[in-house]
């Protein structure tokens, strides 16, 4: 850490970390959205509008990647959260941005609940897929997609207040 801060300023270090957090979030968002769409959509139709002809991904192949991405992403967020608490939230409260503060507080809980579902989520997507767990597999996948979308949106708003490029 000391070697790193000798090369770049501490502020730049945290901004790079935040940017990596953002890039990982984009990849995770893409993967989890495609999987959620794949489990939600009926079988592909040859004719019809764009949505009907949309070809979902083989959903099962995304499960391990999503689980592997979600965990370090949450850990990285937990690390950056230290700086948020001291350097972002306090001025945020000073400017009375209560909605942003509250939404970010809720993000903590949303991510934590998503994290706890990861072992079960990974288990439900193990091959060959169990027909018995089809409904819960679909619901857990959609719930995880919600956690990622919510966290992405709220994180972006907090970043706009004080973060990369703000």
Partner 1 sequence: MTQALDLDLRSAPYGSPRATSAPTSRAGTSKFGTFAITFGIAFAILYTLCERQNWPLFTYHPAVDRLDIWRQPGIPEDGPPMFWYGWVVLSAAGALVVGWIAAIASGPWLQRATTFVCLLAALWPACFALAGVIDERASFNAEFLRSVWVSGIPAVIGATALSYFVSSRWVERAWTGWLLFMPIGGLVILGYSLNSYFLR
Q: Which residues contact 42 (CB under 8 A, 6 or more apart)?
A: none
In angstroms, give the least distance from the CB of 5 to partner 1: 15
Complex with partner 1: residue 15 or 133, whichever CB lies closer: 133
Task: State in Å, rounded, how far the first CA of the chain is from the last one.
Answer: 25
Contact yes or no for 35/66 (Cβ under 8 A): yes
Q: Where are any strands of DSSP class E within 18-103?
A: none
In angstroms, give the least distance from the CB of 74 to partner 1: 10
Binding positions for partner 1, rule: CB under 8 A: 38-39, 41-44, 55-56, 58-60, 78, 81-83, 85-86, 89-90, 96, 98-99, 101-103, 105-106, 108-110, 112-114, 116-117, 119-120, 122-124, 126-133, 136, 139-140, 143
In angstroms, give the least distance from the CB of 114 to partner 1: 8
Distance CA 126, CA 146 (A): 22
């Amino acid at each position: 850490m000391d070697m790193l801060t000798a090369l770049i300023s501490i502020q730049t270090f945290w901004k790079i970390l935040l940017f990596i957090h953002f890039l990982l979030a984009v990849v995770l968002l893409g993967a989890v959205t495609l999987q959620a769409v794949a489990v939600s959509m009926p079988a592909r139709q040859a004719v019809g509008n764009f949505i009907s002809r949309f070809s979902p991904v083989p959903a099962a192949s995304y499960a391990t990647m999503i689980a592997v991405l979600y965990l370090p992403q949450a850990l990285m967020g937990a690390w950056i959260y230290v700086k948020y608490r001291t350097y972002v939230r306090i001025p945020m409260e000073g400017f009375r941005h209560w909605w942003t503060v509250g939404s970010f507080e809720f993000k903590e809980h949303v991510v934590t609940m998503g994290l706890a579902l990861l072992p079960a989520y990974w288990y439900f997507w193990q091959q060959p897929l169990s027909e018995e767990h089809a409904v819960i597999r679909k619901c857990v996948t959609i719930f995880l997609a919600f956690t990622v979308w919510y966290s992405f949106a709220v994180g972006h708003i907090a970043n706009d207040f004080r973060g990369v490029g703000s």
